[in-house]
Each structure stands twice: as C-alpha cells, then as structure tokens.
Chain A
Amino acid sequence: MAALVLSALILVIFNFARDPTVIRAQDLAPAALWVTITFAATTALNRAFAVELDHGALDGLLLAPVGREAIYLGKLLGNLVFTGVVQAITIPLFVLFFNLDLHGTLPAILLLAFLATVGFTAVGTVFSALTMRVQFAELMLPVLLLPFMVPPLIGAAQVTSKLLAGRPLADSAGWLQILATYDIVFVTLSILVFPAVLDE
C-alpha cells in the first residue's frame, strides 16, 4: 500500500519538477513513469524477505520439503505480482496526470513493462534475501540494486518515448531483444546463486 502511495506521489512531484512553459508533459512522461516504477519496486522489494523474519517464518520455509529454487521462484512470483499491481495503478495515474492518449499503444506499454520488470525483480529478490540480515538493509538494497535497474530503465524509457511519439513497437525490436536477454540471463543466474544466500 505504501508503495502505491509512493508511486502516486513521485508522479505528482515529477509534474511539478518541470517548467511547463519549456518542457511539455509528454517529453517528461517516459522518465516519470520509469523512475516511479523503479522506486516503487525498490520499496516493495525491501519488505519482500523482511516479513519472513517475523515469527521465524523463514525457518519454516527452509524446513519445508521443497528446494531452495522453489522458495526463490515463489518469492519472485510474489514480487512480480506486487510490482504488477503497482504498475496497474501507476500507469492509469500516469495517463491521467500527464494527459496522454495511450489508445492503441497500451498493449505495447504493458508488454514493455513486463519485460523491463522481470530481470531486475529477479536480482532484487536475491538481494532482498541477502540484505535482510545485514545492517542498514533499507539503504543497502537500493545501493546494490539501482545499478541493475539501469539497462531496463534506459530501454523502457527509450521505447516508451518512441511509442508515445506514435511509432510502432516493431521500431524498437533491438531494445526488446536486449530486455528479453537481460531477463533470461538474470532470472537464470538468480536461480543458480539463490541457494548460496539461504545456506545456514
């Protein structure tokens, strides 16, 4: 819930952080959307494993007769659903605040949002498990994770501005390939390294 309020607030702040006589809302829109989603996702990931520490829930999970990979995939799925909910609320707000017409481009934006989110959420899920028992976890997670958001963020913002300019998704095939490769590489790597984070 806090993440939703946060993303609405960031969008509002973005709108006031520009000079409306110089920068059109549409020019700032891709940046506003992706920076908002990035920060909202980081906030959500901060809590992803912290909740498992209460009442020894994590120990229960570790005792369960399932592989560490299964715990990881479950957590990743949960985080993706959460980020999806944040996006489902951020995107309509974004259309409203930035006065955009997404008619026809909405499916492309949703596909893009999915591709841009999976990879860094995969890494973020690992880092969230890793930082939960570290000092200053709330600070450590963004410090470690924000560099991983750079490739998806650049790609997503570039493709969004092309889409908002009325160009078809096919024009951005190169970016979509990079985003998809990024997702495949980091989901695979995360599954491989995750057991090392939970070893006791």
Chain B
Amino acid sequence: MTSSSSLSASSSFPQSSTSSVAAARKSIRAGQVLLLLGLVALAAHYVRAIEFTPVEATQGMAQKIFYVHVPSAWSAFLAYGIVGVCSALFLWLGDRRLDLFAEASAEVGTVLTFMVLTTGPLWGKPIWGTWWQWEVRLTSTLFLFFLMVGYLTLRRSIYDPLERARYSAVVGILGAMLVPFIHLSVYMFRTIHPKPVILKPEGPTLPGSMLSTLLEGVAIMTVVYLGLVLIRYGIGRLQEEKEARHAAAG
C-alpha cells in the first residue's frame, strides 16, 4: 500500500479510527523498546549463567539450560493465563482490544512453549538418558502447545471478527481451565521430572547464586514476552483497522 493512499483513506475515516491507529503504533514502539531491552539483558543473562554462576555438582554444564528453560516455561504459562483472563474479560465487557491482546499472547506463548519443548529434551538426553519422558510438566507443556495451536487454528478459520472473538474467547477460557486438570492427572499417572526447587512449601533449596541467576532469567523472559505481545497486539490492531477500511470501501 502506498503512503499517499493510506493517508487519504485514514483522513476520510472518523477520528476514532485515526486515534486507534496511533494507539497501535504506540503499542508497537513500546513493544520494540521492551524487546530490545529484553534481548540485550538476555545476552548478558547467558554470559552470567555460563561464566559467573557455579556449575552444578552432578549435572555439570548441562544444568545451564535450566536458566533458559524455566524462564521460558514461566512465561509460556503466564501467556496462557493471560489468554484465559483476556477471554473471560472479553465475554464480560465485549471490548475488542481484549480479544486482540489474547490473540497476541497466544501467538507469543506458542513460541515460548516451543522453546520449553526444545530445551527440555536437550537437557533430558544427557541427564535422563532419553529425549522424551511422559512426565507431568513435560506433558502439561505439550498439551499447552496443542491448546495454543488449536486456539490459533480456530482463529484463522473464522473470517467475521466478532464471531472469531467470541468463539476463540470460549476456547480460551475452557483451555485455561483444562491446564490444571491435565497437570493433576498426569501427576497421578507418574513423574520423574526434577522436583521443584523454588516454589515449594519449605522454601527454595537452590543455592543463592543460582537462584538469583534464575530469577533474573524469569524477569528477563517476562520483559521479552511483554515486548513481543505489545508488538503483536499493535499489529493486530492495525490489521483490524485495515480490514475495517476495506469493508467500508468495498
């Protein structure tokens, strides 16, 4: 699209439309800043994790992947939680922005879940002696991935934006409720995953230097997640604007 035609189209549009384009651009810019900060911090985080954090006694260097794996898993579950919350709020309030935010979060969450599912087996091979185990968190994450892919596939097969928003909100809410059940039932099935070292009743057992590196990773991954989501959300709003314009013109 040439800039002159887009300009004339937007100027012929009501005020709300141009301000919404401005809001979308703002969201993308904020996302780019956050993403840049996050990526720089992530590079520093790798250096710290590899060079300046003690090597784990029994697992050796393989344990280093923990500082990427756990933060991505945290952000992936956060992403799906946000899809669920935005979906529920959308059905309640009917604000289209909530739907677009849920979509952005689901897309970024899919990438993060994929990162968890690739870093996990990379670690599992040297430590467990096998790439894959039907273990509780592994399996829950796999189903998280399937749920996200299903959610996004559904979105792509509905053309009407309002219908798409309502249907995907229903799937988002039900899916978010499913995750704890999958977790519980696979847990009762069997488990060999390392026991949690942070979130457990008697407090963290991880040595302080490793714990701070891990928490730093979690914070950085959250920033990366937010950056990506804001960019994707802004793009979603621009797309929506463009579709609305096409509909108005044709």
Contacts and interface: CB of A to CB of B under 8 A. Distances in A.
Interface of A: 123, 126-127, 130-131, 133-136, 140, 143-144, 146-148, 150-151, 154-155, 158, 174-175, 178, 182, 185-186, 189-190, 193, 196-197, 199
B143 interface: yes
Nearest to A157: B189
B38 interface: no
Given A148-B178, A151-B182, A174 B170 contact: no
A191 B67 CA distance: 42
B170 A151 contact: no
Contacts of A130: 154, 167, 170-171
Interface string B157-182: 11000010011011101110110011
Contacts of A131: 154
B65 interface: no
A142 to B, nearest CB: 10
A147 B188 contact: no
Given A151-B182, A178-B184, A158 B174 contact: no
The 4 closest A-B pairs by CB, nearest first: A151-B185, A151-B181, A135-B157, A154-B185
Given A140-B157, A154-B185, A147 B150 contact: yes
Contacts of B173: 189, 193
Secondary structure of the B contact surface, majority rule: helix
Interface of B: 91, 143, 146-147, 149-150, 153-154, 157-158, 163, 166-167, 169-171, 173-175, 177-178, 181-182, 184-186, 188-189
A147 B182 contact: yes
Contacts of A178: 181, 184-185, 188
A138 to B, nearest CB: 12
A185 B175 CA distance: 12
A158 B175 CA distance: 23
A154 B189 CA distance: 7
Nearest to B144: A147
Contacts of A146: 146
B174 A199 contact: no
A151 B163 CA distance: 29
Contacts of B163: 133
Secondary structure type dominating chain A contacts: helix
B170 to A, nearest CB: 5
A193 B169 CA distance: 9
A126 B174 contact: yes
A123 B189 contact: no
B134 to A, nearest CB: 10
A126 B170 contact: yes
B70 to A, nearest CB: 23
A83 B19 CA distance: 52
B171 A147 contact: no
Given A147-B143, A186-B177, 13 more contacts: A130-B170, A133-B163, A140-B153, A144-B150, A147-B150, A148-B178, A150-B143, A150-B185, A155-B185, A158-B188, A178-B181, A189-B174, A196-B170
Contacts of B171: 127, 130, 144
A150 B180 CA distance: 12
Contacts of A189: 173-174, 177
A147 B188 CA distance: 17
13 contacts: A127-B171, A143-B153, A144-B150, A144-B154, A147-B175, A147-B178, A150-B143, A151-B182, A151-B185, A182-B181, A186-B177, A193-B174, A196-B166
B189 A199 contact: no
A79 B171 CA distance: 20
A99 B150 CA distance: 39
A150 B182 contact: yes
